[in-house]
Amino acid sequence: MSSTAPHALSDVTASDGTLRRFLHGLPGVDAVGLEARAASLGTRSIKTTAKAYAIDLAISMVDLTTLEGADTPGKVRALGAKAVRPDPTDRTAPATAAVCVYPDMVATAKEAVAGSTVKVASVATAFPAGRAPLSVKLADVREAVAAGADEIDMVIDRGAFLAGNYLKVHDEITAVKEACGTSARLKVIFETGELSTYDNIRRASWLGMLAGADFIKTSTGKVAVNATPANTLLMLEAVRDFRAQTGVRIGVKPAGGIRTSKDAIKFLVLVNETAGEDWLDNHWFRFGASSLLNDLLMQRQKLATGRYSGPDYVTVD
Amino acid sequence: MAPVFDYAPAPESRSVVDIASSYGLFIDGEFTEAADGKVFKTVSPSTEEVLSEVAEAGEADVDRAVKAARKAFEKWSALPGSERAKYLFRIARIIQERSRELAVLETLDNGKPIRETRDADIPLVAAYFFYYAGWADKLDHAGYGADPRPLGVAGQVIPWNFPLLMLAWKIAPALATGNTVVLKPAETTPLSALFFADICRQAGLPKGVVNILTGDGRAGAALVAHPDVDKVAFTGSTAVGKQIARTVAGTRKKLTLELGGKGANIVFDDAPIDQAVEGIVNGIFFNQGQVCCAGSRLLVQESIHDELLDSLKRRLTTLRLGDPLDKNTDIGAINSAQQLERITSLVEQGEAEGAERWSAACELPENGYWFAPTLFTGVTQAHTVARDEIFGPVLSVLTFRTPDEAVAKANNTPYGLSAGIWTEKGSRILAVANKLRAGVVWSNTFNKFDPTSPFGGYKESGFGREGGRHGLEAYLDV
């Protein structure tokens, strides 16, 4: 298979051996130091105008998500309407970045957001476990793309990664990227909670970027530990370094467990002070979340009116 | 272009601290004027605003304070350890209760960011009192024999870089072991010690156990020379430390000195780079580099020099310099005009000697004393900036090729207070740490303090240890 890695790193993916040596040659991660840095950035005090800016920015970065077995077309349509117009009482609230649904709901979602800037993302590749033959995963992706998905969120084969079969994971990502064609951007989900160590998360990040990911994403939201400030900081360092080395820019998407405006703003501070301010745009940074949006909207209303309204003043979905 | 994420100012309120227009000396439990009525002003380094006027102690005042401490010593040293512990625990709790007030006060008087006083200084101050309170009734088990005795009156002189923390390092072990103290805070940062005097009264500490004399070097010299002082403890510059050593030489006084440093921060090529960059920043830009154990010499393995320097420079551009009361400020003001002058002149010398200077582009406020985070590359052991303690936000970058060379360069200094090692290889940490002649060696971190851990120097960085069980020895007759 031909390598999609940027020219500067093209020989890295020549064989399992070169890929392993490259990934294991990346600088290590000191867990204590990483977490301390993430915590220290979390103490930035974001008030008044900066807070208003951050809240609107965060809303515009939300991938409004429903990934339940019980999803119905009605639920997806409601979600789409909310993504397009998050706050019916205040039309100045920005639209979210995307709605994220299972592949069978892509067509419905596409219809629901038609005419807006909202994209449709779909979790293909046998989400969330990823335990299916490659042919099935690719079919999953092709169906979603054919139904109009603008973005594909794929899960990597964590088993292969943990077994050290890096080239297998690489080739799978490359194949999925190819199946996305030119119309869909690819987000690669590592399920960081299952990768267990920060060193693994850094290696996975580079592996994903080498294989042609447009976005690297922390998690599915379906395991105990999802996005954390520390693992997101680590991935931001990875995209920053990848750009410095190759000139190629990759997006980052923390997903799962980000529920409050306060948390979301902390992530934006991480982006601002790690990858840099030009990542502060929904083309390069996303939040995978469902309940976050309502908290952002309530905080937004509070800033606008000076009063805290409560959950009955935002829509349930 | 999209608007940038510009953090709005988030200043901590000044109203939580009530600074009086003038303060006296704290002698025998009372605030009193200096015998000759002299006063001096203390200013806020970030604005040059006069904060208050404090009494300037003369020899007569030193004598009064030492007498008060001597008188209090009889009862204080006779108290059971558990009783002394009660007072110390009470002081520690009051410090916690008044932490916000103390943090703002310290920031106003010293110029360091509220982030540091709030998150590092004041919590550590409380922790040191709690820690030594715990020792007060266990001195028999400290390893200095059964029933070790206190020394008597301790004369303590502390610097301006960590005014309240250095006070805690000195006073907590002295009181726990049954000594009484006369403490002289630095001339530019007297206020938190005076607030501490108030805390002693709030805690009901017996009169005369703690006495605070504000004043300049002359008051310090008189205190050190006073014949009825049994123990001298000093933290500050090596030059003053040498004078004190000469004064004390030949007397029965016990002496501990915590002096200057020129700490080496050694980064090997297998280091966790991103965390090493944070550690370098924390090592030299914490408290504007005005830290005796600062990692002011960065020793980088040649193979990663360029990569590391790029990362470091990029990181320095994100440091926020300005109003120290703003919760988002990383770099505050230099403590005094005099100190700023010293930093400036050493940096000019570095440039004149041919080292390459790089400073982060940040706007410096109009008033107050400021210096942008700066680093020198192309530095060799022969450069002044590699040898003299600058005591400011200035990092000298040197390179090495092998671990032996790193150790040789790290040890090639008249000082020996601190060092840092960055590598992912555990065996290398142990091997290198054993060869470094420094009182503290941090691995994969820097500038971390804990009351249980002893701190002190080799060579011109002084002698004696503060903190931990070892810190008790300085105040016991052993």
B56-66 pLDDT tens trace: 999 999 999 99
Per-window interface: B 254-273 vs A, CB < 8 A = 270-273
Q: What is the separation, in whole angstroms, between the first and last Cα of chain A?
A: 44
Examine the pLDDT at B3 and tell me if it is beyond 90: no
Partners of A28 on chain B (C-beta within 8 Å) are: 270-272, 424
Query: What pLDDT is stored for residue A5 in this prediction?
Result: 61
CB–CB of B327 and A277 under 8 A?
no
What are B241's two structure tokens?
């430390």
**What proportion of chain B, given as a percentage, has pLDDT over 90?**
99
Q: Within an 8 Å CB–CB cutoff, is residue A48 touching chain B? A: yes
| Nearest Cα to Cα of residue B236 among B297, B291, B295 | B291
- The strand pair at B210-212 and A251-253 is best described as unpaired
Measured in angstroms, the CA of B295 and the nearest CA of chain A are apart by: 17
The size of the A-B interface in CB pairs under 8 A is 73
Are B7 and A46 in contact (CB < 8 Å)? yes
Name residue B27's beta-bridge partners: B30
Q: Kindly state the DSSP code that residue B321 receives in the 8-state scheme.
A: B
Q: Which of A37, A244, A272 sits opposite B5 (nearest CB)?
A: A272
Instruction: Decide if B431 touches A, using CB distance below 8 A.
Output: no
A93-149 residue pLDDT tens:
999 999 999 999 999 999 999 999 999 999 999 999 999 999 999 999 999 999 999
- Backbone φ and ψ of A171, nearest 5°: -65, -35
For chain B, give me the number of helices (H) and strands (E)?
Answer: 16, 20
Instruction: Please tell me the distance in Å from B2's CA to the nearest CA on chain A.
Output: 8
Q: What is the pLDDT of residue B2?
A: 46
B318 inside 8 A of chain A by CB: yes
Q: Give, in order, the Cα–Cα distances in Å from B277 to each of A116, A201, B307.
A: 43, 20, 11
User: What are residue B331's DSSP bridge partners?
Assistant: B321
Q: For residue B285, what are the CA distances in angstroms to A37, A111, B423?
A: 15, 55, 21
Q: Record the pTM.
A: 0.96
CB contact under 8 A, B2 and A51: no
Whether A47 and chain B come into contact, CB under 8 Å, resolves to yes
Question: If you average pLDDT over residues A177-205, what whole number do you get?
Answer: 97
Q: How confident is the model at residue A316 (pLDDT cuts 50, 70, 90)?
A: confident
Q: Is A132 on the interface with B (CB under 8 A)?
A: no
In the set B106, B116, B187, B258, the catalytic residue is: B258
**Cβ proximity of A113 and A82 under 8 Å:** no
In the prediction, which pLDDT does B111 show? 98
Rounded to an integer, what is the distance from CA B89 to the centroid of its chain? Answer: 23
Indicate the SS3 state at residue B52: strand
For the annotated catalytic residues of A, the residue numbers are 153, 217, 253
B292 labelled catalytic: yes
Q: In this model, does residue B40 exceed pLDDT 50?
A: yes
pLDDT in tens, B294-327: 999 999 999 999 999 999 999 999 999 999 999 9
Residue B278 sits at the chain A interface (C-beta within 8 Å)? yes
DSSP secondary structure letter of residue B119: I
* Residue of A34, A48, A272 lying closest to B275 (CB–CB): A34
